Amino acid sequence: MSRRFSLTATAVFAASLVAGGAFAPAAVAASPLGLAPLPLPLPSLLQEREQDRLTVTVVDTNITRADGTYELRCGPAGGSHPESASACARLDELAGEAKDPFAPVPKGQMCTMQMGGPATARVTGTWQGRSVDATFSRKNGCEISRWQNLVPVLPAARG
């Protein structure tokens, strides 16, 4: 629907230029044929945001109905993910912070040796125009923190 609105707005603007309407900028001179040149379409108006598509597979969360494989689509939110709207909002928030929620724990990172339970997850697909293939666990403090950072894309697992 937003694409249709953008295209309609662009067409109305272009028509007003041809007709010499109020929207016609003063800097646009008439062509020798008496018609104002049509503006070039703005790419942002004509191109929809590429939809983020992720497959989230979660096992051993100890949460009823949390284990399984879910499709998550963002832009607009949808798919079989049980919390698609809030999951997409979280991903948008992380993107706004310029953080990569799918980056692994850096090599050599000191992590507490606590066990957060047997839950594991794998996220594959496309996010922000790039391929994603990330695995998550709760085997130490760094991995628990990484998992919690991605809730509600991943369920809030219990140990």
- The whole-number pLDDT of residue 84 equals 96
What's the mean pLDDT when you consider all of the chain? 78
Please name every residue paired with 146 in a beta bridge, in sequence order, or none if there are none.
none
Please name every residue paired with 54 in a beta bridge, in sequence order, or none if there are none.
72, 125
**Residue with more model confidence, 41 or 63:** 63
Half-sphere exposure at residue 129, Cβ-oriented, CA atoms within 13 angstroms: 4
Q: What is the mean pLDDT of residues 105-116?
A: 94
Q: What is the CA radius of gyration of the chain?
A: 24
Where does residue 139 fall: left (phi above 0), alpha (psi -120 to 50 degrees), or beta otherwise? alpha
CA-based diameter of the chain, in Å? 78
Could you give the residue ranges of the DSSP H alpha helices within 19-140?
Answer: 43-46, 84-96
Q: How does residue 158 score in pLDDT terms, banded at 50, 70 and 90?
A: low
Residue 21 pLDDT more than 90?
no
Residue 26 pLDDT more than 50?
no
Find the range with the poorest average confidence among 30-39, 79-88, 115-124: 30-39
Q: How does residue 44 score in pLDDT terms, banded at 50, 70 and 90?
A: very low
Half-sphere exposure at residue 90, Cβ-oriented, CA atoms within 13 angstroms: 17
**Residue with more model confidence, 61 or 21:** 61
CB atoms within 10 A of CB 72: 24
